[in-house]
Amino acid sequence: MSDRPGPDDPAAKILDREALLRRFGRPRQGRLVFTNGCFDLLHAGHVRLLHEARGLGDALVVGLNTDASVRRLKGAGRPLVPERDRAYVLAGLAAVDAVTFFDEDTPRELITALLPDVLVKGGDYAPEDIVGREEVEAAGGRVVVVPLLAGRSTTGLVTRLREVEPPGR
């Protein structure tokens, strides 16, 4: 990962908020889809969510919790993967058009600034509990909940990893 990414380098898809709004803010052409999360230990459930989300529009932006935000939400010892690495892995997926960070506990500020046409969250959220729903719907957008892929969660992976004893014990 270099400091100056080439056009095919996933790092070119990692945008600060100002660059993100210049590229994907309103007015815009096409339908913008947005989702967010910690994406610590990317797994099949995440990939499915991102693939489904991308199919709902012309571009997918992922809001990624910073390391400090993840620690506040998930506790000490998290994230397992640093924010720049999590962003790079997400940006390397074909379904993802851009990744940006947010340091707040929720993405409300980012969603309000971007006002995506479609806001997507996983099936562990009830539509009425999705942060940004009111702002998106008030702007004419819609909220979509993608069903979870059973048995796939970062918390579950972390728990199983911590239960495994190191070799030689």
**Is residue 122 a part of any domain in this protein?**
yes
**Is residue 150 a part of any domain in this protein?**
yes
Please give the residue that has the higher pLDDT: either 74 or 7: 74
Q: Is the pLDDT of residue 1 over 70?
A: no
**Is residue 41 a part of any domain in this protein?**
yes
- What is the model's pLDDT at position 159? 60
Please give the residue that has the higher pLDDT: either 63 or 167: 63
Domain range for 130 is 32-163
Q: Return d(Cα 38, Cα 86) in angstroms, integer.
A: 8
Q: How many domains does the chain have?
A: 1
State pLDDT tens for residues 50-61.
999 999 999 999
**Is residue 27 a part of any domain in this protein?**
no
**Is residue 39 a part of any domain in this protein?**
yes
- What is the model's pLDDT at position 123? 85
**Is residue 158 a part of any domain in this protein?**
yes
Q: Is the pLDDT of residue 134 over 60?
A: yes
Q: Is the pLDDT of residue 169 over 60?
A: no
124-139 as b/e, with b when 16 or more CB fall inside 10 Å?
ebeeeebbbbebbeee
**Is residue 13 a part of any domain in this protein?**
no
Q: Is the pLDDT of residue 151 over 90?
A: no
Give this prediction's pTM: 0.87
Q: What is the CATH number of the domain that holds 77?
A: 3.40.50.620
Contacts of 28 (CB under 8 A, 6+ apart): none
**Is residue 9 a part of any domain in this protein?**
no
State pLDDT tens for residues 15-73.
999 999 999 999 999 999 999 999 988 888 899 999 999 999 999 999 999 999 999 99
65 phi/psi in degrees, rounded to 5: -60, 135
State pLDDT tens for residues 85-114.
999 999 999 999 999 999 999 999 999 999
